[in-house]
């Protein structure tokens, strides 16, 4: 009986094992199918995700390009506007600088003129002075000529004194003429020298009339030659300066 029981038990166990094996094959198959299905879903999901990612990247790239393009245009416009503003500022500064420089230059020119003198203006001063004294000189020369012709020594001496006093007054008057220009100063000096020489001629003339000697005649001639030379130099210098500075 024990042996039969063992046989039964062994057979039952074998049957159970076969059943178990038979039952186990279905879950494995299901699992494989499920894995296959999941894998397929995963593939589709990955594919869909990749497509979505591509589209997102493409859209982002387009947006980025558009943003960069807009930013570039804005930057160009901003640079252009800034450039125009800078140009305007530079132009304004340049104009203001020119105006300032012009004002400074005019001020400096005025100051220089105050210190160094205006040649044309100084020349006019001397010419005006000469015109004012011309009539006085002519009158003195006429009076001197009349005194010499009279051969009256007292009249001649009186005339010489009067002439000398007049020349001294002219020299003082000439000295008061303010000449700052170094170009015109030589003309003033020549004018003063000519006045002194003319006085010397008058004195030598009176001495020669009073005492007509060869020596006095030679001294008179030398004084006359000197005065004529200085007068010619004075006239030449005056003409040169008048032409140079267009002063009549």
- Among 116, 141, 168, residue at a domain's last position: 116
Check pLDDT > 50 for residue 235. Answer: yes
In the structure encoding, which two tokens stand for residue 226, read together? 């000197």
Q: Note whether residue 94 is domain-resident.
A: yes
Rounded to two decimals, the pTM is 0.55
Please indicate, yes or no, whether residues 187 and 95 belong to a single structural domain of this protein: no
Check: CB of residue 149 under 8 Å from CB of residue 199: no
Q: Note whether residue 8 is domain-resident.
A: no
Give the tens place of pLDDT for each residue, 90-112: 466 457 645 644 554 454 444 44
Q: Percent of the chain beyond pLDDT 90?
A: 49
Check: CB of residue 180 under 8 Å from CB of residue 122: yes
Please indicate, yes or no, whether residues 178 and 136 belong to a single structural domain of this protein: yes
Q: Note whether residue 66 is domain-resident.
A: yes
- Among 69, 97, 116, residue at a domain's last position: 116
Per-residue pLDDT band at 119 (split at 50, 70, 90):
very high
Check: CB of residue 204 under 8 Å from CB of residue 216: yes
How many structural domains are present in the chain?
2
- Among 85, 116, 147, residue at a domain's last position: 116
Query: Distances in Å between the alpha carbon of 210 and those of 101, 143, 159, 213, 222?
Result: 69, 18, 14, 9, 18
- What 121-127 contacts at long range (C-beta under 8 Å, 24+ apart), as own/partner pairs, is 122/179, 122/180, 122/181, 122/184, 123/181, 123/184, 123/187, 123/241, 123/242, 123/245, 123/247, 124/247, 125/177, 125/178, 125/179, 126/177, 126/179, 126/184, 126/187, 126/188, 126/191, 127/238, 127/242, 127/247
Domain that holds residue 64: 38-116
Check pLDDT > 70 for residue 51. Answer: no
Please indicate, yes or no, whether residues 123 and 240 belong to a single structural domain of this protein: yes
Give the tens place of pLDDT for each residue, 149-208: 998 989 999 999 999 999 999 999 999 999 999 999 999 999 999 999 999 999 999 999
Please indicate, yes or no, whether residues 64 and 153 belong to a single structural domain of this protein: no
Please indicate, yes or no, whether residues 126 and 241 belong to a single structural domain of this protein: yes
Check pLDDT > 90 for residue 20. Answer: no
pLDDT at 39: 56
Please indicate, yes or no, whether residues 151 and 179 belong to a single structural domain of this protein: yes
Please indicate, yes or no, whether residues 88 and 125 belong to a single structural domain of this protein: no
Q: Note whether residue 178 is domain-resident.
A: yes
Please indicate, yes or no, whether residues 106 and 125 belong to a single structural domain of this protein: no
pLDDT at 34: 59
Q: Note whether residue 29 is domain-resident.
A: no
Give the tens place of pLDDT for each residue, 124-155: 999 999 999 999 989 998 999 999 999 898 99
Please indicate, yes or no, whether residues 131 and 195 belong to a single structural domain of this protein: yes
Q: Note whether residue 7 is domain-resident.
A: no
Query: Distances in Å between the alpha carbon of 41 and those of 36, 46, 58, 160?
Result: 8, 8, 25, 145
pLDDT at 112: 45
Please indicate, yes or no, whether residues 167 and 225 belong to a single structural domain of this protein: yes
Q: Note whether residue 86 is domain-resident.
A: yes
Measure CA of the first residue to CA of the last residue in the chain; give whole Å: 172
Please indicate, yes or no, whether residues 92 and 160 belong to a single structural domain of this protein: no
Give the tens place of pLDDT for each residue, 209-223: 999 999 999 999 999
pLDDT at 248: 87
Identify each DSSP E strand in 61-158 by its residue range. Answer: none
Q: Note whether residue 5 is domain-resident.
A: no
Please indicate, yes or no, whether residues 52 and 166 belong to a single structural domain of this protein: no
């Amino acid at each position: 009986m024990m042996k039969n029981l063992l046989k039964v038990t062994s057979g039952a166990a074998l049957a159970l094992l076969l059943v178990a094996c038979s039952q186990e094959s279905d879950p494995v198959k299901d699992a494989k199918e499920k894995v296959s299905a999941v894998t397929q879903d995963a593939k589709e999901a990955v594919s869909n995700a990749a497509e979505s990612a591509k589209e997102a990247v493409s859209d982002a790239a387009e947006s980025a390009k558009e943003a960069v393009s807009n930013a570039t245009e804005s930057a160009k416009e901003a640079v252009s506007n800034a450039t125009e503003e800078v140009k305007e500022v530079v132009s304004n500064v340049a104009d203001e600088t020119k105006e300032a420089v012009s004002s400074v230059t005019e001020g400096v020119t005025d100051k220089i003129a105050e210190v160094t003198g205006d040649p044309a203006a100084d020349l006019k001063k001397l010419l005006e002075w000469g015109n004012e004294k011309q009539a006085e000189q002519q009158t003195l020369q006429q009076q001197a000529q009349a005194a010499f012709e009279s051969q009256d020594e007292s009249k001649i001496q009186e005339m010489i004194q009067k002439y000398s006093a007049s020349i001294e007054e002219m020299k003082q008057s000439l000295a008061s003429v303010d000449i700052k220009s170094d170009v015109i100063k030589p003309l003033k000096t020549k004018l003063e020298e000519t006045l002194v020489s003319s006085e010397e001629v008058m004195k030598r003339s009176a001495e020669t009339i009073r005492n007509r000697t060869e020596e006095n005649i030679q001294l008179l001639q030398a004084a006359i030659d000197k005065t004529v030379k200085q007068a010619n130099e004075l006239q030449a210098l005056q003409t040169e300066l008048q032409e140079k500075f267009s002063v009549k």
